[in-house]
Structure 1
Amino acid sequence: MQTILVTGGTDGIGKGVAAHFLKKGDLVIVVGSSSAKGDLFLREARQSGAKERAFFLQANLSLVKENKRIIEEIKSRFNSLDKIVLCATSHKTRKEYSETQEGFEFSFGLAYLSRFVLSYGLKELLENSDNPMILNVCAPGMNGTVNLDDIQCKRNYNGGKSKYHGSRLNDLLGVAFARNDTIGKVKYILFNPWAVQTSGTFDAIENPVLRSITKLLYKIVGRPVEEAVLPIIDLLENPPSPSLSAYKVWKKVSLAMKTFDKENAQKLYNLTVQLLKGV
């Protein structure tokens, strides 16, 4: 029996991954912001006879202090982790720049900083298992650059660009993690699910006309969650051999792309460490 942590595990892709491994007989820890959805996860686990193997931790992962609290709670209750699947995100595109209570741009805090803190903070527990893995659901395989002078997109803020920029930050997170991992035991996978038919994607669109158009488009190009999680499950059960790899659905992404620049990855790592010193 493996121990698997899934952030954003009460919705969409995260919920699909959590349900698969719970059904398979593994111990699954789900982190989410909604207590109601967490209760539903536990109730469904109880109904399926998996009560003893299902755990829910409520947290606002846009806050560094909440990520650190989750890390300490997991360390106090579990001796090791086999897999971490990072899915927590917000599909909402913010019209105006907004910060968390800790002073970080919201999308930056949730989509990048949380994954940085959890990846490094739980590394020790991962190393206690035989074949540890981190799978970061972001968007590798897309072109773009990281503005290292404004990693939180504070200047000339654009909500859509900020979310896209966060995916490029995660590309560099994976590169830096693999390079800085002197033990080299943890495999890091960056995964792009492409278009997935999740309620969160549609609910985040305020304009009803645009929401209807998006639903129609996703019926054509998107895939249901049950199908979208299949390549993720395959990677988790049959991990690639390199310490770092990236995939866009079933297709492997070349790490020679400029978005995986090693020098930029180390610069971003250093900047992030400095930012976290103030929290």
Structure 2
Amino acid sequence: MKTILITGGTDGIGKGIATHYLKKGDRVIAVGSSAVKGNLFLQEAKQLGTEGRAFFLKADLSLVKENKRIIQEVKSKFLTLDMIVLSATSHIIRPAYTETEEGLEFNFGLAYLSRFVLSFGFKELLEQADAPVIVNVCAPGMSSAVHLNDIQRKNNYHGSKARNHNSRLNDLLGVAFAEMDTIKKIKYVLFNPWAVQTTGVLERIENPILRLFTKFLFKIIGRPVEQAIIPIIELLDTPPEPHLTAYIQRKKVSLTKKTFDRDNAQKLYRDTILLLEEVKKR
């Protein structure tokens, strides 16, 4: 029996993966921000007869302190982790720069910094597994600039551009993790699921015309969750040989692209460590 931790594990792609592995006979730790969805996840696990292998941890992963709490809580209960899926995200496009109580831009904290902290924070538990793998669900393969002097996009803030920028940061996180991992046991996979028909996206679009258009568009190009998770499950069950890989669905993305620049990854890693030290002092 394997142990898999999934952020965003009570909704969308994360929940689909969680349900798959519960049915398969594995142990699943779902991390989410909603107690209601967490309880629903546990109830559904009970209906499947898998309640003894389903765990829910409530956390606001936009906060560094919450990520660190989750790491300590998991370490206190489990001796190893076989897989991690980082899929927690927010579909809300914020019109203005919004800070968390720790003084960080909300989506930056949730979509990038959380994944940085959890990736490195769970490294020791992953190394206890036979074939450990991290799948970071973001958007590798997309070409856009990386603003290393403004990683939280404070200057001329634009909600959708800031969200897209976090995926560029995750590209560099993957490069930094693979380079910093001297043991070379963990496989790190950056995965772009493309358009997925999740209710969460539509629920957060306030404009009715835009919501209708998005629904129509997703019907054409989007795939249902049960189909979208198949390539992810394949990568989890049979991790690629290289220590770092990137995919758009099943199509491999070349790591020679500018978005995977090694020097940029090193600078971002150093800046992120400094930022975490600043947060710790607050």
TM tier, smaller: over 0.9
- State the match for 2:143 in structure 1: 143
Matched with 2:172 is 172
1:24-60 per-position Cα deviation (integer Å, ceiling 9, x unaligned): 0000000000001100111111111101100000000
Paired residues for 1:1-279 under 5 Å? 1-278=1-278, 279=280
Looking at structure 2, the residues matched to 148 and 142 of structure 1 have their Cα atoms a distance apart, in angstroms, of 17
Report the more deviating stretch, 85-94 or 199-208: 199-208
SS at 2:167's partner residue? Answer: helix
**Letter in structure 1 aligned against 2:190:** L
**Matched residue type, 2:40:** L
The whole-number CA distance in structure 1 between the counterparts of 2:40 and 2:180 is 39
Decide which moves more: 1-10 or 202-211.
202-211
Q: How many angstroms apart in 2 are the aligned matches of 1:230 and 1:187?
A: 18
Listed as ranges, the gaps of 5+ residues in structure 1 are none
Counterpart AA for 1:194: W
TM-score with structure 1 setting the length: 0.99
Q: Distance in 1 between matches of 2:222 and 2:263?
A: 35
Runs of 4+ aligned structure 1 residues displaced above 4 Å come to none
Cα displacement (A) at 1:191: 0.1
Q: Counterpart of 1:73 in 2: which secondary structure? A: helix
The alignment partner of 1:247 has SS state of strand
Please give the secondary structure, in 2, of the residue aligned with 1:277. helix
TM-score, length-scaled by structure 2: 0.98
Tell me, in whole angstroms, the C-alpha distance in 1 between the residues paired with 2:256 and 2:202. 34
Q: Which runs of 5+ in 2 are unaligned?
A: none
**Letter aligned with residue 171 of structure 1:** D
Aligned equivalents of 1:156 and 1:174: distance in 2? Answer: 27
Q: What letter corresponds to residue 130 of structure 1 in structure 2?
A: D
